[in-house]
Structure 1
């Protein structure tokens, strides 16, 4: 008998963990296995699917998009300190994306830990800080299942995000007791008094502008925000550098995308005397500018479920609330206004150019793709063209890196496809961006992920060149990568691929490839023809 009177006969730590994962609706493990995690995956239960990534950053990227779309935590396994180190860039992105991930990392057997053994982690809980919500290496093997259970609930509590549990190698086979079932209701409410105060400010304003951020999509609030915008006839802007879409971009009230600099941002909002920011920081800047964040005499309210955003707002009044409930409450209590006259935003079509430009490529994709498809994007040079010519019109329909770090998009597209959305995932990628995680093509082929990868090959790091030009720079070292062959790279990993450099041929090729299923890649050559 156990000293406490409990029976020593129970289940293994691995069995207890798998039982909890079933209870939580988790049946996939994203990983790259190593020797310190091996016991967990020997005789993996048949009802679990192991999604292999060939490098740890790819594992995190796949799990990130998968978790955001399924609206549930994804389970990730990484190899000790080295594997966690490889994953850190995309772990930071997952933190900024607010993706709920349970990251388990391997650790050497407990009896070796005092002697600095090979392949161990000296500081497993500290290594990932501050980019996880919680991290722990349980004091006893018996505590591992409870730690993973706590990790799940922590990851899923708003604001969502990754957590980490370090598990020594010999813990998985130890005996423990099954976890008692428990539940938790996630999400915040919306304070009626604060909503009433905000509603009075909206009614008193001459013109209201709404700024939507990724939190609108994360809180499943598209319909409620659209109802609110239509009732108060507000122009709707997307927050700077938003990683998710929060409003149909073909809607009459849609005004466009706020730039990440001043005074251009405040100029966009100059007609409004009240700005309502939903689920975004106030504000995200990429370049320095004037110190004013809003036009004079403009009032701002921020509604978010993220205390960090609320505390860090540079101006205005912040309210912690579930965005869907807040928007629903405001729409029910605010007074209706006359409709806006004319479309808020108009983008003219692009004529067929002499070479494939960003704008023309996105126009062709828009003309031919199913509007219900998911888009995962990482082509920084072409982001403005995407905003202008590739409107996102559905919830959970657009994903990008919130951190600005590269290497997220390619694996995230694979993770999105593994949710089986019923439609092809479209993944526009820059040539430089794609090389940060090009091994994700192997995972796409291995799992027959329905992804149409579109590589925008401009021969270098175009975004960096563009920033240099803004600063009156001329030549920037290390920006030319022009001798890559993405067709060969894709085919070598099992992904069918084609190349196109002819604008006239592009629509036909895109139409043909969109009609296919499974992973496939189109390399679009954008470099100007060589001088003769």
Structure 2
């Protein structure tokens, strides 16, 4: 709905009484019969998988989701384009963030005989995918406090409308109450399988990191891993890393609720302004804005406000000297230009952008980083100072395929 008033009406004063807003509580319990049905499905399942979405983080429901995962042994993945921390990344049941493509999501869910969609908002892949994400015959439970989200993109067998924390807590209690010895043994088998997958994922990430360290130039995996080593306990990540985003979710050991703010949707440029708002809103936390060089150019003037209001935000610019998401997209579409390694208008070179000079021009201290030693020194400097600082971190500019 669009409502427009003439300017003369807008400027007029009125002595009309302002009506109070209606405050409707969303802390509602789920339907008891639906909770019983969900419990029955959990007890009958031999390989449940949980997909956690932003409604978990935004409703402070992480603890109850952890309880369900630990009880059943189920592995937990988080939705792509997560805007919240929805499960502790340090937990041994954490399987990682889903990539925003159908083949990856299908692979994650293909072995499950029960999928629990807990507060999931990003239910569909970003690119067209003509196969079902969940195998036929796999039971589906969806939990959310918004009826719009439940069954939005696929059929759900057991929809539960209610506050996620309350619903999950009741399911955990109900499952504990009715679990037989055989159920407990099944949970234990599931848990061992989940822990084995976690060990394999940890080994794969370590191998990926070691391989990237063989390069002469820094890689996104390296710089995010190093950032993780220096993050303060009270860190709040504001993420707009785009093509480096998967490394953020792979190598940052985030575990505290409200320690992550991410991009929901495909728009760019929110990161730097959002980090200022986050620092103002949570002065007891140290905000770190992880952002790509291309994304930073949308509103880089926002950093002047960090200097003006002395907001100690650390701007961590991952600089691959290009709009890499566009290059990867062109390769993904098998474009003719990409076949010739020609990407018109997508390189930020000739001349290169001097982010250090730009930042200093806005009153923010800055440093250029081109190797691991410089990165370590810069991070130590940034987090020891109670002022804003920008790190311009040069990384590998090799074009990779994304979203595939």
| Aligned counterpart in structure 2 of residue 469 of structure 1, from 328, 331, 338 | 331
Equivalent residue in structure 2 for 1:422, among 242, 259, 284: 284
What is the aligned partner in structure 1 of residue 115 from structure 2? 275
Point out where structure 2 has 5 or more consecutive residues left out of the alignment: 399-404
Cα RMSD of the aligned pairs, angstroms, is 2.4
Return the alpha-carbon distance in structure 2 between the equivalents of residues 256 and 403 of structure 1: 19
State which of 375, 389, 394 in structure 2 corresponds to 1:506. Answer: 375
| C-alpha spacing 1:224/1:359, structure 2 compared with 1 (3 Å) | same
Does structure 1 retain, via aligned residues, the 8 Å contact 2:124–2:153? no
Of the three residues 223, 247, 251, the one matched with 2:87 is 247
Contact 1:459-1:527 within 8 A present in 2 as well: no
Counterpart check, 1:338 vs 2:169: no
SS in 1 for 2:51: strand
Give the match for residue 442 of structure 1: 304
- Cα drift, residue 183 of structure 1: 5.4
**Equivalent residue for 2:401?**
none
Say if 2:80 is the partner of 1:218: no
Asked if the contact 2:360–2:366 (Cα under 8 Å) also holds between the matched residues in 1, the reply is yes
Measured in 1, the distance between the counterparts of 2:5 and 2:85 equals: 38
Q: Bigger shift: 513-522 or 225-234?
A: 513-522
Give 2:206's aligned residue. Answer: 348
Between the aligned partners of 2:91 and 2:11, the Cα distance in structure 1 is 57
| 3-state SS of 2:278 partner | helix
RCO higher in structure (CA 8 A, sep ≥6) = 2
Residue 109 of structure 1: aligned partner: none
What is the CA–CA distance in structure 1 between the aligned matches of 2:56 and 2:81, rounded to whole Å?
A: 14
Secondary structure, aligned partner of 2:67? helix
| Aligned-partner SS, 1:444 | helix
- The answer on whether the counterparts of 1:374 and 1:397 sit within 8 Å (CA) in structure 2 is yes
Deviations 1:239-276 (A, max 9, x none): 12222220001101111122222232121123310000
Where does the alignment leave 5 or more consecutive residues of structure 1 unmatched? 1-124, 127-135, 140-165
DSSP 3-state at the match of 2:89: coil
Residues 472/510 of structure 1: CA separation in 2 closer, same or farther (3 Å cut): same
| SS of structure 2 residue aligned to 1:312 | coil
Match of 1:375 in 2: 237
Change in CA separation of 1:303 and 1:525 when aligned onto 2, cut-off 3 Å: same
How big is the shift at 1:319?
2.5
Residues 53 and 122 in structure 2, CA contact (< 8 A), matched pair in contact too: no
SS at match of 1:524: strand
Aligned counterpart, 1:495: 364
Distance in 1 of aligned mates of 2:240 and 2:284: 22
TM-score by length of 2: 0.85
Match of 1:192 in 2: 32
1:517 equivalent in alignment to 2:386: yes
Counting only pairs closer than 5 Å after superposition, residues 173-322 of structure 1 correspond to structure 2 as 173-177=13-17, 184-281=24-121, 283-317=123-157, 318-322=159-163
- Cα distance in 2 for partners of 1:245, 1:181 equals 30
Contact 1:282 1:314 in 2 (8 A): no
Residue pair 2:26, 2:163 contacting (<8 A) in 1 also: no
Alpha-carbon deviation of 1:505? 2.0
SS, match of residue 269 in structure 1: helix
**Number of residue pairs the alignment of both structures matches:** 369
